[in-house]
Structure 1
Amino acid sequence: MQTPTTSGRFRWRIVALLFLATTINYVDRQVLSFTMTDELFRKEMLDIPPDHNGIPTVLTREATDRFKILYGDVDAAFKFAYAIGFLLAGWLIDRIGTKRGFSLGIFFWSVSALMTSFVSNMAGLRWARTSLGLGESANFPAAVKTVAEWFPRKERSFANGLFNAGTNVGIILTAVSVPYLILNFGWRSSFFVTGLLGFGLLILWWFTYTKPERNPQLSASELAYIRSDSDKIPVRKVSWTRLLGFKQTWAFAIGKFMADPIWWFYMSWLPDFFNSNDALDQKLDLKSFGVPFLIIYVVSDAGSVFFGWLTTQFMNWGWSANRARKTTMLICALCVVPIFFAAQTSSLTVAIALISLATAAHQGWAANTYTFASDLFPKNVVASVTGIGGMFGAVGGILLALLSGRIITAFGYLPMFIIASCSYLIALILIHLVLPALDPVKAEELDESEYWSVAGRP
């Protein structure tokens, strides 16, 4: 007789759809970090003519430093909108449903990405990225809620790890395609072409996604397996204020606040690090970004899947969720520590290896922290909790983004990598102090007026 786990695997198709969505989300997000290394783009954003009397204008060191500081401010604007958007997206998705809420997010970010190809200065770029941040914030609340709807608790970290691997694939595709587009068709083509991808995703999502109970292709045995540890009392409505009263929310928020800014630092500044870091014996440009970034983010993908699988394996051995997740997160935190040396080595190979290890560990950390929301809260508030955590992560990203350009122009990349090397260990210590055991919040612990009882009481 077949078991539920072998008689149906439709739920993994849903993960594949989330993987695709996350990939496109990161393509649109990542385009700017590669485009910013293009000389013509920098000149146009700074309102500097590309040539003078037929002779190409050369950017001075002062102009380059000014561009990096302004770029950091644009990055902070994106993250500010992302923080606000995370809260709004989580709230909206919990109220109008995953399908409609995510569809709105995809549409909004795709329009914003496409419109970036028409900006002509830093002010226009700032507004375009702000709009993009609002739309892109829907991806993770929707994806984490979808995993909570489609997977039993013991499989969620692995499922989260799989869809989260799309972040790396998105960066790889960007590193390979965007330099080609810029070199052959100009920097505007990079935003226009990649912005079109979201509209295809929107059509696919709208005509593919349904809840498990409404999906005719899902077998009865697989549905029973998905529902094997479902919440008995579904939550109707819970305010952000109420959710902030739980230490479980704060544990998740701490993990995001400390780690997300580091990942965003990698996304925003690694192309410039490889392009301008004087310590390296070799420098990369639009013609040579492809292979190194392919290596970094293939390793990151492996880390996302491996560390998500590792937690699941620990739990299959009989470990508690608390022990399994925190052990995996400790391993991830330790793997990031050596990254400070990447800013000191002269070897491009060593720098790539250290950054690859750190990004893989971050993805493992992310796969496990995202699972906090679905492990610790009833399904009906997972998107809201994810939105709160994402908002805290974005606030941390805003603070680091505002400082990054100024720190890099004044002191180089070493201080930034030192911050990265210790953030995860500090975060894990704080999480354990706030939440020594990963005890889930039960529906009945929420305000009694805000849930449906088994008997149907309003």
Structure 2
Amino acid sequence: MFKDSKKYWFVVFMAFIATALSFLDRQVLSVSIIKIKEDFPISDTDYGLINTGFLVSYAIMFTLGGILIDRFGSRKGLGFSVGLWSLATALHSIATNVFHFGIFRFFLGLGEGGAFPGVIKAVVEWVPKKKQALANGIVIGGSALGAVIAPPLCVYLIQIIGWRGVFLATGIFGLLWVLVWFLLPKKKEEILEIGEGEVISWGDTFRSVAKVLKVREVWVFVLIRFVLDPIFYFYMFWIPKYLSDSRGVDLEKIGDLFWIPFLALGLSNMLGGFISDKIFRRTASLDWARKGVMGVAAILTLSALFVKYMPSEEWVIVIMVVAFFAHGLWITNYITAISDTFGKSITSTVIGLSGTAGALSSIIINPLMGKIIQSYSYDPMWIYSGLMYPVAFILFLILMPKIKQLKYLPTM
């Protein structure tokens, strides 16, 4: 099936669909909640607890999923992850109370925690080094596609098959993806590394993680993600509210405008990878290829400082397009730098650790954001959003003077 090496792009396409499904499935509830409330009462507090269930399991599984995927490979690891969250999505269709939604949301987070470690592992396993940045950009860009199509698709399907039908349909689609994914042949390395009937103890796993945490470069990537992830969560969770509260924009117009930054994000994920690969092929320098694009992205994020001065909501969206575009350039090359540094051995584990750090910082900082906005204004958040990418980039230059694959690494 895969005699022609160019067919690794089919693996990339499947990984792209997986991340699109991850963002689609996590947004179905936020779109459907208005209709769900018509069937049985869910307070704002209840809704917050339901979403917290997802964030907690997502934070845990980001690291655990990365560890397991490094153990078992992308074929088994990503397939299991998509299968678990698709089943959890489908089960939302039988929920009749807040407890049901909380449980199903928790399992959705458990599955989705393995999404990004899994797709990046697939790229590392299948795609040649000189094309990995572009491949990473494509698979990460799937999440933006999911974010763009989720609102209109869900609204359309709710009108036809109801909110229960939407959960069931998207869950079934994910399970069909799993069937196709397991038709892929095993990589030779995977067959050699993981024998039939091999038993891996949790004690061995935790000892391996302890060794990973002793690698200084791991903490560099974890620190960067801890500092920056709350910014993107601020953009996702608070900009619609900012447009409504501070700009007087109605919900319909917010829906008409807010998908545009996500489209810019998806395009920049791919463009950032394409440009980075091109620089690498011409210069043979990972530093120039990854840090050059990340530096440009850091400069572009300064645009967030000017949101308060924009004369209209359309101009706010223009600034958000620039900010999301910059984030896409940044995150693609940040993740590719992880695979450049750690190779096939612990890439998914490091991505998992950094993702968990970002989720935990967001869990901690998001309530603080609300307090700041309520007590002062949105201005401190725009300042943080505009300055922290340049600060993180300077830290990255200092702490990672040269991007190169480390020679001596623990294995999972």
If the length of structure 2 is used for normalisation, what is the TM-score?
A: 0.85
Q: Is the 8 A contact 1:35 1:41 kept in 2?
A: no
SS at match of 2:6: coil
Distance 1:39 1:239, change over 3 A: closer
* Cα distance between partner residues in 2 of 1:317 and 1:260: 32
Deviations 1:287-332 (A, max 9, x none): x555424422222121111111222222223162123212211211
Distance 1:425 1:118, change over 3 A: farther
1:283 paired residue among 229, 250, 258: 250
Distance 1:335 1:441, change over 3 A: same
* Cα distance between partner residues in 2 of 1:202 and 1:188: 22
1:299 paired residue among 238, 244, 264: 264
Partner of 1:20: 17
Partner AA of 1:98 in structure 2: S
Matched, 1:446 2:409: yes
Matched, 1:150 2:126: yes
Matched, 1:173 2:149: yes
Partner AA of 1:332 in structure 2: A
Q: Is the 8 A contact 2:73 2:190 kept in 1?
A: no
Deviations 1:401-426 (A, max 9, x none): 33345555555544443332223222
Q: For residues 62-211 of structure 1, what are the structure 2 equivalents within 5 Å? A: 67=44, 71-120=47-96, 122-182=98-158, 186-208=162-184, 210-211=186-187
Unaligned runs of 5+ in 2: 192-203
* Cα distance between partner residues in 1 of 2:169 and 2:328: 27
Matched, 1:34 2:26: no
* Cα distance between partner residues in 2 of 1:167 and 1:176: 16
Matched, 1:310 2:275: yes
* Cα distance between partner residues in 2 of 1:206 and 1:255: 34
SS at match of 2:41: helix
Greater helix share, 1 or 2?
Answer: 2
Partner of 2:286: 321
* Cα distance between partner residues in 1 of 2:403 and 2:338: 11
Which stretch shows the higher mean deviation, 433-442 or 129-138?
A: 433-442
Partner of 1:398: 363
Matched, 1:422 2:387: yes
Partner AA of 2:249 in structure 1: Q
Distance 1:249 1:318, change over 3 A: same
* Cα distance between partner residues in 1 of 2:340 and 2:382: 32
Which stretch shows the higher mean deviation, 390-399 or 120-129?
A: 120-129
Unaligned runs of 5+ in 1: 1-6, 47-66, 216-235, 452-458
How far 1:27 sits from its partner (Å)? 0.4
Distance 1:417 1:338, change over 3 A: same
* Cα distance between partner residues in 1 of 2:113 and 2:168: 20
How far 1:21 sits from its partner (Å)? 0.8
Q: Is the 8 A contact 1:30 1:267 kept in 2?
A: no
How far 1:113 sits from its partner (Å)? 1.7
Partner of 1:335: 300
Partner of 2:218: 249
1:432 paired residue among 394, 397, 404: 397
If the length of structure 1 is used for normalisation, what is the TM-score?
A: 0.77
How far 1:376 sits from its partner (Å)? 0.7
Distance 1:129 1:341, change over 3 A: farther
How far 1:354 sits from its partner (Å)? 1.2
Q: Is the 8 A contact 2:50 2:101 kept in 1?
A: yes
1:380 paired residue among 327, 345, 362: 345
* Cα distance between partner residues in 2 of 1:427 and 1:138: 25
Partner AA of 2:228 in structure 1: A
When the two chains are superposed, the root-mean-square deviation of aligned CA atoms in Å is 3.0
Aligned residues: 396
Partner AA of 2:179 in structure 1: I
How far 1:158 sits from its partner (Å)? 1.2
Q: Is the 8 A contact 2:228 2:388 kept in 1?
A: yes
Q: Is the 8 A contact 1:73 1:401 kept in 2?
A: no
Q: Is the 8 A contact 1:256 1:369 kept in 2?
A: no
Partner AA of 2:353 in structure 1: I
Matched, 1:11 2:8: yes
Which stretch shows the higher mean deviation, 348-357 or 191-200?
A: 191-200
Q: Is the 8 A contact 1:112 1:129 kept in 2?
A: yes
* Cα distance between partner residues in 2 of 1:430 and 1:42: 50
Q: Is the 8 A contact 2:123 2:132 kept in 1?
A: yes
Partner of 1:226: none
Partner AA of 1:172 in structure 2: V
Identity of counterpart residues, as a percentage?
31
1:351 paired residue among 316, 320, 324: 316
Partner of 1:225: none
* Cα distance between partner residues in 2 of 1:116 and 1:416: 34
How far 1:199 sits from its partner (Å)? 1.1
Deviations 1:415-439 (A, max 9, x none): 4433322232222222223222223
How far 1:185 sits from its partner (Å)? 5.5
Which stretch shows the higher mean deviation, 78-87 or 341-350?
A: 341-350
* Cα distance between partner residues in 1 of 2:324 and 2:35: 25
How far 1:82 sits from its partner (Å)? 1.2
How far 1:279 sits from its partner (Å)? 2.7
How far 1:71 sits from its partner (Å)? 4.7
Q: Is the 8 A contact 1:22 1:170 kept in 2?
A: yes
How far 1:88 sits from its partner (Å)? 1.3
Which stretch shows the higher mean deviation, 264-273 or 307-316?
A: 264-273
